[in-house]
Chains A and B, each alone.
Chain A
Amino acid sequence: MAVTTLSYSEAAVRALQQEMDADPRVVVLGEDVGRGGIFGQYKGLQQQYGAERVIDTPISEAAIMGAGVGMALAGLRPVVEMRVVDFALCGMDELVNQAAKNRFMFGGQGRVPLVARMPGGIWDASAAQHSQSLEAWFAHLPGVVVVSPSTPQDNHGLLRAALQCGDPVVYIEHKTLWGLRGEVDDTLVVPLGQAARVREGNALTLVSWSKQMQPCAAACDALAAEGIAVDLIDLRTLWPWDRETVLSSCARTGRLLVVHEAVQAAGFGAEIAASAAEATGCRVARLGAPRIPVGYAPVLEAQSRVGVDAIVAAAKKLAG
């Protein structure tokens, strides 16, 4: 197939097809996956690979995640669907105490090559239990990889890499990126732990990921119009994160702004900012949501959104 235009969800389907063709041990389990998943991210897979490999499950997140651990220990490579990151919390022991700990706790006797997909971020008008951004929780957890793609190309290439890596992976797609279309070269596997430089500039380093890359790119355009050239980096993988790309940029620009959709307090932006300040002595700033649940009404939901204007203002303040 090579290069073609796909949506973010179609790119994931293509990645799964390639990995399921290459390795019969790859199976999918989760609620509604037989119908293609609630975002179409498994569309057609059960028809293609059968109900034994694309397994419709009861609404049992603990059992889905825990069974994924058992399947992985027994030689399969499960893709575990959690529907949304908010529901993954119902399988938290199975992820945190079992999947993430198994290999170390048992002295390397077993490994858990499992990819847990849990769409994250604000889902328009979906209120407090369907709109969370919890990636920092998982980045805090030794034993797991954390991935959050922002483009169809990356959703294809990173999902393939996640399935091939052999470690438990928390794979956070954004709830509102599924329809985003873009060119996808399906021969590519995007290496985990490697960020992408999206814009180049010397005035400021701007780091973000997932859906928030869109307002960040728009902010960079606005800043460029005023003569402020920004180095924009899409982190893509939160753990392991690409220290070399981020820190070398910070050393060059002397200024770092991290922007994320998650709550700012104790967010992953704090980790990057602190690391950059320690390593390079650069000036740092963070921009995330206030520490409030996401509200339903548009005016309330807007309070949790980090928009282009706020990014531009924060960048100018830092660059000034």
Chain B
Amino acid sequence: MESNLPPHAGEVLYRVMVRIRAFENAAETASQGGVSAYGQQAGGAAKVRGPLHLSTGQEAVPAGVCAHLRTSDYLTSTHRGHGHTLAKGADLTRMMCELFGKATGFNGGKGGSMHIADFSVGMLGANGVVAAGLPIAVGAAHAQKLLKRSDDITVCFFGDGAINRGPFLEALNWARVYDLPVLFVCEDNRWSATTASGPMTAGDGASARAASMDIAATQVDGNDVFAVHSAAQRLVAEVRSGAGPRLLHALTYRVKGHVSVDLAAYRDPAELAAALETDPIARARGHLLDTGVAAATLDAIENAARDEVDTALAVADAAPWPEASAAFTDVQTTGAGQWL
């Protein structure tokens, strides 16, 4: 691992990753007994219900990329969006409230984990449809260009499964045709739901497809937060300068199953074991210790994250449910009230 970060910048990245991990670990525990289409027992006792897509092991990508973003930059996400949302600056407690389905959540309990969003920090939403964020991202970037909004940019996270859907190709072509300020970030975690992506993907993947459309692509070890940070720093600067779209292809690994209740029994245990040896948080901790950061400093970061998450769980648990009448708001203004 290499980094030439300013003092404490490494600790900041470490803190972002640790908060994501702590948040998702807590959410997973709170989802036990939840609804499943993967053979686990359904139950109403879970605090976090419905599909919960965890990004355990992928934390280095949002931490390294979002370190270069401003609040006024836009971000679109995938169904695995907790890490992106936290890294973009969303409030952790309000996120937990949304996962609990409470009125105090970002979406008032209307979206849950799969639609986590905080528009106030430019995070335009996690999405339940693979590749759906890509066309939305190029539209947001197109608006930034037309509205001449300083040098704001849009960052679009998507997975390796998304590159086999048409909207990926349409969006990349669109971004290049209009030379839009958009950074595409492929979080290549090697799995498409419960199917390995490799055998389902012709050619060399996201970066090769971007190159075919004259979009400069950079491949990076997505479990090395310093490498992601460094690559993203250059790409974000290029996009901000008006050079047009860029693609970052981050090679990482999906440690958990597709959803929290998916035990991923279809996967070779050796593959997981190998991946765990490159855990991005452990690697970053080792590197920071090597560069002279005190263990106590890193321990304090971890403890603070756990405390913050514990508080968020308590707040979310105590928070009120939405009023039933909220089911009828935010649908549409034209014809509001005409429900039948």
In B96-136, the 8 Å CB interface with A consists of 105-111, 115, 117-120, 124-125, 127-129, 132, 134-136
Min CB–CB distance A281 → chain B (angstroms):
17
Contacts of B147 in A (CB 8 A): 74-76
State how many angstroms separate the Cβ of A211 from the closest Cβ of chain B. 24
Chain B residues whose CB sits within 8 angstroms of the CB of A108 once the complex forms: 108, 329-330
B259 within 8 A of A: no
The stretch among B138-146, B198-206, B223-231 that forms the contact with chain A is B138-146
B171 CB–A CB distance under 8 Å? yes
Would B331 and A106 count as touching, CB distance under 8 A? no
A179 within 8 Å of B by Cβ? no
- Classify chain A: how many residues form its interface, as a range: 35 or more
- Closest residue of chain B to A166 (Cβ to Cβ) is B333
Docked pose: A165 CA to B74 CA in angstroms: 25
User: In the bound complex, what is the Cα–Cα distance between A101 and B124 (angstroms)?
Assistant: 13
Cβ contacts under 8 Å, A189 to chain B: none
- The answer to whether B141 touches A70, judged by C-beta atoms less than 8 angstroms apart, is yes
- Interface assignment of A109: CB less than 8 Å from any CB of chain B: yes
B119 touches A66 (CB 8 A): no
Q: Are B143 and A71 in contact (CB under 8 A)?
A: yes
- Determine whether B174 belongs to the interface, using a CB cutoff of 8 Å to chain A: yes
B143–A76 touching, CB < 8 Å: yes
How many residues from B make CB contacts under 8 Å with A?
51
Interface flag for B325 (CB, 8 Å): no
Return the contact of B115 from the options A76, A105, A142, A165 (Cβ within 8 A). Answer: A105
Which residues on B sit within 8 Å (CB–CB) of A98?
Answer: 127, 129, 132, 136
A143 within 8 A of partner (CB)? yes
Q: Mark A63-74, 1 if CB is under 8 A from B, else 0.
A: 101111111111
A212-252 vs B, Cβ < 8 Å mask (1 yes, 0 no): 00000000000000000000000000011101000000000
Residues of chain B contacted by A192 (CB below 8 angstroms): 334-335
Q: How far is the CB of A231 from chain B (nearest CB, A)?
A: 22
Point out the residues of chain B lying under 8 angstroms from A69, CB to CB: 135-136, 139
How distant is A102 from chain B, measured CB to nearest CB, in Å? 7
Q: Is B140 in contact with A70, judged by CB distance below 8 angstroms?
A: yes
> Can you offer 25 A-B residue contacts whose CB atoms are under 8 A?
A60-B173, A62-B170, A66-B134, A66-B139, A66-B167, A67-B136, A67-B138, A67-B174, A70-B140, A70-B142, A70-B154, A74-B74, A74-B143, A74-B144, A78-B139, A93-B129, A94-B135, A97-B132, A106-B119, A107-B105, A108-B329, A109-B118, A110-B124, A166-B334, A193-B334
**Residue ranges of A at the interface with B (Cβ–Cβ < 8 Å):** 27, 52-53, 55, 57-58, 60, 62-63, 65-76, 78, 93-94, 97-98, 102-110, 142-145, 165-169, 192-193, 239-241, 243, 275
Q: Apart from A63-B135, A66-B138, A108-B108, what are 18 other A-B pairs with CB-CB below 8 Å?
A: A58-B177, A62-B135, A63-B174, A66-B135, A70-B124, A71-B143, A73-B119, A74-B140, A107-B110, A110-B119, A110-B124, A143-B332, A145-B334, A167-B332, A193-B335, A240-B335, A241-B338, A243-B338
The 10 closest A-B pairs by CB, nearest first: A66-B135, A70-B139, A240-B335, A67-B139, A107-B107, A74-B143, A63-B170, A107-B108, A108-B330, A109-B119
